[in-house]
Structure 1
Amino acid sequence: MIRCKRVYDEAAQDDGYRVLVDRLWPRGMKKADLHCDEWARMLAPSTELRKAFHSETIDFIGFSKCYREELKQAGDAAQTLAKRARKETITLLYGAKNTEQNHALVLADFLRHLEG
């Protein structure tokens, strides 16, 4: 099972394996205060794509399409996380304010559909 959660939300027992999926460390968050098992920067959107989305140069649909193309190049990192999700709960942690349109949701969907 794959869940998505803001890094600023409290950790829960049922979060399972917690993975930070932002390229940058979350603002205002001390490393000692964030319980995560892995920081998967390589699965975060590229800096260029992230900036284009945040500046509204592209919309969420365009962002999602471009991000999925980037994820196809992520290779083993995505495959490894997808395999883990088949065996246990993983929670993708993100810092974005928008809980309905963010890269963690796209990544979760991508991981759910990986074969293997």
Structure 2
Amino acid sequence: MSTIKGIGFDLVDCDRFRAMAQKRPTLIERLFSAEEIAYANKYSDPTVHLCACFAVKEAYLKALGTGINGQVLKQIEMGHEKTGTPFVTICGERVPALVSVSHTDKTAGAVVVLF
């Protein structure tokens, strides 16, 4: 069995995130890759999916123990297997981690376990 190197959790308020995105028109492009934006745009409410993606980024950084601290959030990406299972990549390289994501129309949460 692999050794756990870190566990991170994050919860995002979707209404708050939506308000921030409306005030800062470039926020979405600064935080998310083109693939993440395209994935979210497949749904009737892209914001909740972007919030879930943001929660994964934050949970990953918390699992590392670094926080944002100069990290380029756009380089931390959430992707999905064909089965729908989420995963994390950094600059296109898959991270050895387990990722769990859930959301409602109001909140999105994620847990990342690094190995």
| Both structures adopt the same fold (TM-score exceeding 0.5) | no
Give the number of the structure with larger relative contact order, counting CA–CA contacts within 8 Å between residues 6 or more apart: 1
Q: TM-score, normalised by structure 1?
A: 0.28
Q: TM-score, normalised by structure 2?
A: 0.28
Structure showing the higher helix proportion among its residues: 1
Structure showing the higher strand proportion among its residues: 2
